[in-house]
Amino acid sequence: MTDEKLKQEQADEEMINQAFQHLLESYLTSKHRRKVEIITKAFNFAKQAHKGVKRRSGEPYIMHPIAVAQIACSEIGLGSTSICAALLHDVVEDTDYTVEDIENLFGPKVAQIVDGLTKISGGIFGDRASAQAENFKKLLLTMNDDIRVILIKIADRLHNMRTLGSMLPNKQYKIAGETLYIYAPIANRLGLNKIKTELEDLSFKYEHPEEYAQIESLLKETKEEREELFREFTAPIREKLDKMGIKYRILARVKSPYSIWNKMQTKHIPFEEIYDILAVRIIFEPSDLEEESNECFGIYVSISKIYKPHPDRLRDWVNHPKSNGYQALHVTLMSNKGQWIEVQIRSERMNDIAEQGFAAHWKYKDGPTQEDEGELEKWLRTIKEILDDPQPDAMDFLDTIKLNLFASEIFIFTPKGEIKTMPQNCTALDFAFSIHTFLGSHCIGAKVNHKLVPLSHKLQSGDQVEILTSKSQRVQPSWINFATTAKAKAKIAGILKREQRAMVQTGEDKLQEFFQNEEVEWNDENIQKLCDLHELATPEELFAALGFKTILLGEADRNELKKDKPATGSGWKKFIPLPFIGGKANKEKKEPRQKAPKQKIDSKKVLKLTPDAFQKNYIIADCCKPIPGDDVLGYIDDQDRIVIHKRKCPLADKLKAGFGNRILAVEWETGKALEFPVNLYIQGIDTLGILHQIGDIISEQLNVYIRKIFIETIDGLFEGHIQLYVHDVEDVNVIIANLQKMEEMKKVVRVEQFEDKP
């Protein structure tokens, strides 16, 4: 062994031991029982199992399990069982050791958690499905038995995100997208607010590095101004609280880069127009735990005498905690500088729950309150109900799980005055399913505040709701379109799929009878002929359509089966598409499939988007319409075409989360050779000749071709949309800058869709 190699090994050993000692020290300062021996045993076992293996960054692999255990211990507050499981979480997957070996050495609990964290082989959804969704489903199944599985998985994901810089770009997009789509919402749902924020910021940093750096720079530039505002605003509050004899601390909360960027995107506003970057937190120690709620409101009354409160922005999460256990009193006050500032009033206990989440303490520490346990149990029960209804499509499954993870909450009252927490924008139908599946599947309408409303009626916080039912009522396919909660959607889809399965069998019997009568051989080729004729993706869709009588077999089918080559698709009988037949394929596929020639793609390389590429197998996604200069990625679709999406596109987020192995890193190299359509939204003060001025700037001064324009004026204001052809983002920025120079123009932003109604 060379001296250099020996030195490296000694340095690695020292680094490993230091990291493990830091973990032990963190554990010993926690409230947990002192089980150092079993943690040391797990560390030594994992260290031996991963011996000689390096991470892509070059450090010894064991550093990753230690880091995950450190996060689980310090940032989530878990105990020895979780720390052992975190240290061992990759052993079964990456070495020859089995779950049985783990159980023999560390007991059934640790083994069960490790098994839940180990990736799976074999499909729940079938061959073409997403392995990511498979693993996620297994994770959730195990989570029903032990919540610590998902908590350690979140710790694992956080460390992977912190070390994502050493990965290839396409892997970065996959992991960052999956994190934003699934793991950040789950961290939020479990009350891990700090971790949720870091996961979002890291995903943003790797997907949009330039925009991340720009917002960080703007935050740094405006730091002194914010600190001055904070000092001035809190000085009279401190004086008041000191007089009241309250033990407190006041902190400034600065909005995270991802939250700022997200608001800029959704509201189409610049950084300068985001006024809630600064919020104030008052964290106090109650004189008595029973007086905690009263003291919150006492502080609110005192500070609202100093500054005027916003009448519509008082949020009482103290008496009605969020379903992730969050408690605080939020009030928005007008500062002396004419700026609204949100103040969050919390006790130290509430602050701990807000930062770490009560899930970490659930059943494993001093014992949570009945209320906390009830909320978490309720959420786990909802997850279990979703898992009980098998989802054939991997992406549908991920969507169903994600649906309510980030939803804001409202309070609904039953006819007897009981309070129920529901997601914002939920309907009367959602409320019916939340109470009982039978109630949901047989409901015909509802009374909201004693007035009759349809099932699609959106509920408001404070509504009193009575569900009306009929035994003859059946679940309707259209319900899936206005149900908004995961539970309602899953139940409706489950009932419709059970009906569909029966119809698939009926349809198959009909087709077999038709084949027999026509003396046609029953084989895959002939069935596929009819699928292509009716533009259906799978034989199951064909059988279902026949069962539901939305397709009637006739002359066109007979001719198709007797031909030697596939028909063009003319002469087929019209059928009505049902929303639950065909899933994603049916929604997307309207044209007969034309398989592009297979191409060899090296997913490790960054593909160049040259003008020639668009003559071949590259297409621009219609959902987000990227142009050169946008942050983009490639997705290999079912027809082996490379679809170019914006990295921030909602559909791309789903694809990264569900089909990461098909994601490619791509870069624009089109120069000024190609033109792409782009849509602008404009708004301003209407004056004589305004349309002529806009046309003059775009067409005459900038020499850009306007494809279409729609403008409407109401009460002296105009707003509208313009579609132009441009070469790249640089062109768009020049056009926007020139239009903004017009005195009458108040807003110009790029949008995805052209609308002939602003």
Contact criterion met (CB below 8 Å) for 49 and 97? yes
What Å distances lie between residue 187 and 56, 386, 423, CA to CA? Answer: 26, 19, 17
| Gap between the Cα atoms of 709 and 722, Å rounded | 4
Structure tokens at 47: 């260290």
Contact criterion met (CB below 8 Å) for 432 and 440? yes
Instruction: Please list the helix, strand and coil fractions of the chain in percent, rounded to the nearest 5, in that order.
Output: 50, 15, 35
Beta carbons within 8 Å of 34's beta carbon, 6+ residues apart:
28
Structure tokens at 542: 């064909």
- Report the DSSP pairing between strands 642-646 and 618-620: parallel
- The DSSP result for 444-489, as a single string, is EEEEETTEEE-TTPBP-TT-BEEEEE-TT----TTHHHH--SHHHH
What is the residue type of 421? T
Beta carbons within 8 Å of 10's beta carbon, 6+ residues apart:
none
3 state SS for 555-581 = HHHHHHHHCCCCCCCCCCCCCCCCCCC
**Most distant pair of Cα atoms in the chain: their distance:** 96
| Gap between the Cα atoms of 344 and 332, Å rounded | 9
| Gap between the Cα atoms of 234 and 240, Å rounded | 10
Q: Of 633, 604, 601, whose CA–CA distance to 617 is shortest?
A: 601
Structure tokens at 439: 């109630």
Q: Which helix (H) or strand (E) holds 725?
A: strand 717-726
- In total, the chain counts a number of residues equal to 758
- Report the DSSP pairing between strands 451-453 and 607-609: unpaired
Structure tokens at 233: 């605003």
Contact criterion met (CB below 8 Å) for 343 and 282? yes
Q: How many CB atoms lie within 10 A of CB 652?
A: 27
Fill in the DSSP letter of residue 595. Answer: P
Half-sphere exposure of 283 (CA within 13 A, CB side): 15
| Gap between the Cα atoms of 288 and 731, Å rounded | 63
Q: Of 89, 223, 74, 106, whose CA–CA distance to 157 is shortest?
A: 89
Catalytic residues, which ones?
93-94
